[in-house]
Every structure is written in C-alpha cells, then in structure tokens.
Amino acid sequence: MAITNVKRLMKKLDELGGNSEAVFENAVEKAGKAIERYAKDYCPESGLSDDTLRDSIKFEMVKKDGKKTKGRVVTNHEYAAYVEFGTGPIGAKSGGVASKLAGKITYKSDGWYIPASEIEPAVAEQYHFKLVTIGGVDFYYSEGQAAQPYMYPAVVGKEKAIGNIVRYQINKEIKRICNSR
C-alpha cells in the first residue's frame, strides 16, 4: 500500500514547527503493526500443536529509500506461500489471491504421492490426504490445497482502516503543535 499526496501536508507540518519525518515514520509503523495483526487474525490455524506460520508474520521498518519511509509485513516461513496461494490443481481452482495474479503463479497440474513415513497421521488427516498402498508401501496422495489468503486481505481489505491510522497520527501532531502555541 502506498500513501500518496502527503508531501504538502508534511511540508506545512514542518513549517508549523512539527517534525513531519518522525510523524510519518510513526504513522507507517502503526499502520504496519496493524497490518501484521490483521494478517495474524486471517492466518488459518494449523490445527496442530504449533502456529509457527502465524508467529512468523512480522512488521519491519525499512530504512528510508532516498526520501521515502517504508515498512513491510513479511513471513519467512517455508510454507507461507503454499497457504496464501494454494497448491496443485485444487489451489489453481480455488481463486482467491491467485486468480488476481493469474499468469504470475503456476501450479503443478496433477497430484503427487508422499511417503506415509514422512507425514504424521494427524497432518494427513487434517489435509484429507488419501492413503494408498503401492507395492506394499504406504503413501498419501494429494492434489493440493485450496488457497487460504491471509496477507493479501490484511492489506486490501483494510485500506480504509490503515488510512485512518495514518490520518490519526498526522492529526495528533497538528493538535500537538496548535496546543503548544
């Protein structure tokens, strides 16, 4: 999300004796932390004993790139993209974020087998994998998982709320300046 048309307002804040850069950094941080909370709220529960995906979602401030203050919400979890966009033929059909990024995401077009020894039965059950035996060896068969977006709706569905956070921080600084005169 980019915040535009604030240059004149920030200039006026500075002219009034405020610190527009500090105000804007604070606003970006507050908005970023709100997006982090929204993403964690939307993140599906694993149903297992850990929520490592949810816990991996973090806001980080990116130092000024020239004259711009930026922040970003990220996850470095190994299966974050698989949850967000889905996998296999099922993920390709599930719509969601992937349908908005058509042509930029490719999916495996057929199912696959996973040795049963590599997956806990509770996980296989949670994901509705089919148990099959081939040559006396057990495998789970999967055609993928539907997309379960959590990052995308944390921004796109909350643009108004995020804008309100930024406006609030700027208004707070204007009031501070006016009250100090």
Question: Which band of pLDDT confidence, cut at 50, 70 and 90, is reported for residue 175?
Answer: confident
Q: What is the mean pLDDT of residues 118-131?
A: 89
Q: Which of 119, 108, 126, 130 is nearest to 45 (CA)?
A: 126
Q: CB 69: neighbour CB atoms within 10 A?
A: 18
Of 53-57, 115-119, 172-176, where does mean pLDDT reach its minimum? 172-176
Residue 3 C-alpha from the chain's centroid: 18
Q: How far apart are CA 138 and CA 114, in angstroms?
A: 9
Could you report how far apart the first and last alpha carbons of the chain are, in Å? 35
In this prediction the pTM is 0.80
- For residue 133, pLDDT beyond 60: yes
Segment 35-55 mean pLDDT: 84
Inform me whether the pLDDT recorded for 142 exceeds 90: yes
